[in-house]
Amino acid sequence: MQNHLRALIDFLYRLDEQKVRYTLSGDVRGSIMVGFAYPGERWEVSFYDDGQIRVEIFRSDGRMFDESKLAEFFEKWGKD
């Protein structure tokens, strides 16, 4: 477990050195997720207690929308 924690800490130090702002959150049981944004991208790096590291990248195509897109979001994902 100590080596797994070391990998997370080393990664955070590298982000700090590059002045990358990040957030930490609980992803799923047994993991810590590091989230950060890069122009046009959002990264999620999950460190699991078994030593696995998984990376998910969300990329933008650069399109922008007006506020009417918010209504679409709430219609699709809003709770009744």
State percent of the chain over pLDDT 90: 70
Residues spanned by the domain of 46: 2-77
Q: In 3D, which of 31, 58, 59 has the Cα closest to residue 46? A: 31
Structure tokens at 27: 């992803």
**Residue scoring higher pLDDT (3 or 32):** 32
Total residue length of the chain: 80
Residue 24 half-sphere exposure, CB side, CA atoms within 13 Å?
Answer: 8
Number of neighbours of residue 50 by Cβ within 10 angstroms: 8
pLDDT in tens, 10-42: 999 999 999 999 999 986 788 999 999 989 999
Strand blocks (E) in 1-80? 22-26, 31-38, 41-48, 53-59
Number of domains in the chain: 1
pLDDT in tens, 54-78: 999 999 998 999 999 999 989 888 8
